[in-house]
Amino acid sequence: MKSRILVFIQFATIFLMLLPLGGDIKHPYAGIVLILVGLLIGLGALYKNRLGNFNIRPDIKENCVFINDGIYAYIRHPMYSSVLTGMFGVLIAYANIYTAFLYLILFIDLLVKMFYEESLWHCKDERYDAYAKNTYRLVPYIF
C-alpha cells in the first residue's frame, strides 16, 4: 500500500506541474534543455534495465535482475534522476511558486521512495551493500 501511495503522489504531482494554470513560460530554452537531459538519463536507464525488469513502484519484482553497469555504475536511481531533472526543467520554465512547491513535494516523495527501495535491496541482494558504497544515489560525485 505504501508503494502505491508514493507512486500516486509522484504522478499526481507531475500532472499538476504540467498544468499551465495560466502561468507564462519564463525560461523556455533552459526548461527544454533540462527536460531533454532528463529524457536522456531515463533512456540510459531503460537501455540497461529493460521494461520487464524494473517496477514503477519501489517494490522489487520477484524475478528481477540486479543491474550495476551502464548508467547504473554511476548512480543507483537513474529513473528518479531522470524525473527530477526533467521536472526541474518544468520548474525553470514556469519559474513560479506553485511549480516550486509541487517540485518540493515531488522531490520529497522520490526521496522517500528511493530510501524505501534501497532498504528492500539491502535485504534482497548481498551485493547491494558494496554497490551502494561505490555509487551515488542521484547525481554522480554529489549525492
pLDDT, tens digit, for every residue of 46-60? 888 876 777 778 777
What's the pLDDT tens digit per position in 73-105? 999 999 999 999 999 999 999 999 999 999 999
Going by pLDDT thresholds of 50, 70 and 90, the confidence category of residue 35 is very high
106-115: long-range contacts, CB 8 A cutoff, minimum separation 24:
106/10, 106/13, 106/14, 106/17, 109/6, 109/9, 109/10, 109/13, 110/10, 110/80, 110/83, 110/84, 112/6, 113/3, 113/6, 113/7, 113/10, 113/58, 113/80, 114/58, 114/77, 114/80, 114/138
Note the pLDDT of residue 108: 97
Question: Is 143 within a domain?
Answer: no
Better-predicted residue by pLDDT, 69 or 23: 69
Predicted model pTM = 0.89
Note the pLDDT of residue 12: 96
The total domain count for the chain is 1
Question: Is 139 within a domain?
Answer: no
Better-predicted residue by pLDDT, 141 or 92: 92
Note the pLDDT of residue 22: 65
Note the pLDDT of residue 33: 97
Question: Is 124 within a domain?
Answer: yes
Question: Is 94 within a domain?
Answer: yes
Domain that holds residue 106: 2-15+26-134
